[in-house]
Amino acid sequence: MGAQIEVGPQNSENLADFSNLAQLHQPYLSCYSVIILATLKMYPDSFEGFAVTDTNNWSTVSRIEFKPKPFGEYDVDICIHACGICGSDVHTVSGGWGQPDLPVIAGHEIIGEAVRVGNKVTTVKKGQRVGVGAQIWSCLKCEVCKANLENYCPHMVDTYNSNYPDGSKAWGGYSSHIRAHEYFVFPIPDALKTEDVAPMLCAGTTTYSPLVDNGCGPGKKVAVIGIGGLGHFAIMFANALGAEVCAFSRSSKKAEDARKLGASEFVATGEDSDWPSKHQREFDLIISSSSSVENFDLDGYLGCLKVKGKFMFVGIPEDPLEVRLPTLNQSAISLSATHLGNRQQILSMLKLAADKGLKAWTECLPISEESIKHALERTHSHDVRFRFVLTDYDKKFGRQD
């Protein structure tokens, strides 16, 4: 990787003064050589990662070198240790959500070590273990951001397949490093293992946010549709927050898993045609993690909500889903969706996980071209229980401090 030399503090006036001093006192420059060498540090100005270059071969990646955005005074460089593989990665690199800006390096469930911090960074220290999720920047100035809704900022930058206002491209976590604004860098509690917490940075917060936004807690009944990367977190967090949880899946194959995650009830919709009538007006909140609309009985699910109940989509199917308004107005139901979570929610989620001993259900693979291909294809086939995490970054990229 290329590198740039940084001398002591990043202060152009100090460097100019030093340069002038060196010219005036050239005979004495050797006296400073030891000090100069001691303060020189090599930082990468380009990183490496595994990129998809063709949506027709979306599971095949190639190792490339890339330049991150220019380093800013609020930025943090992170040497990546692990990254979860999200269903969003598959939707993006395959072109399911539209043509991506190729080449694209996916990955937005990132854990690593802060190896460089800007001179105005206050929330992260060098050497600290930190995480980055699916958002890497927002303006932090608009009314939306000021209301702690930065995850809906009209100028937001996704962690990958996105561009900064200056045109710089954002690159994801299948890479040696990532550069992020400190507001979107989260200290990781010591109680959480790297591979256990990585998927929480996207899948975790995507389900935790609508739960807390909609008052999940003691006395509430919550249903979760789908038991996968998103759904297993929804069950886990709803239970940890004190709600009574019912898990919905098409078959009974995951019934035992659902109960281990915290569900007190399980419904196999493909094995009991009477499930809508059995659970009519039962739930305060339904979280749908489904990424498919095939055989998705939305009317049946909506009928399971109490009057003024809320139905939240956290999974994003590639195909459209028909909604019949009469189903909504019969019970004054709110039908909505959510996008990630804000900083406060992510921090509180991590604290809850640490306090309650919660962790993702994962399958770890050492990062490589072969591992990424294997994991993307199995994620596409819903053949993972329940999240792949890429590890052993130091063995592939070497340690770059």
Map out the domains of the chain as residue ranges.
3-42, 48-201+356-397, 203-337
Per the model's pLDDT, the better-predicted residue between 154 and 32 turns out to be 154
pLDDT of residue 34: 39
Strand partners, 317: none
Q: Are 145 and 203 in contact, with CB atoms under 8 Å apart? A: no
**CB 23: neighbour CB atoms within 10 A?**
9
Q: Residue 344 burial by CB count (10 A; 0-12/13-18/19+): exposed, middle or buried?
A: exposed
Nearest alpha-carbon partner for 260 in 236, 279, 230: 236
pLDDT of residue 9: 40
Report which secondary-structure segment, H or E, holds 287: strand 283-288
Q: What is the CATH number of domain 203-337?
A: 3.40.50.720
Work out the average pLDDT over 211-219: 97
Binning pLDDT at 50, 70 and 90, where does residue 28 land?
very low
Angle between helices 231-240 and 203-213 (to 10 degrees): 40
- Is the pLDDT reported for residue 344 higher than 50? yes
- Is the pLDDT reported for residue 15 higher than 60? no
**CB 397: neighbour CB atoms within 10 A?**
19
The dihedral region occupied by 226, where left means phi > 0, alpha psi between -120 and 50, and beta the remainder, is left
Q: Distance (Å, rounded) from C-alpha 172 to C-alpha 50?
A: 9
Token pair recorded at residue 68: 């991150």
pTM of the full predicted structure?
0.86
- Is the pLDDT reported for residue 21 higher than 60? no
CATH superfamily of 48-201+356-397: Medium-chain alcohol dehydrogenases, catalytic domain (3.90.180.10)
CA–CA distances in Å: residue 54 to residues 68, 92, 142, 158: 21, 11, 36, 20
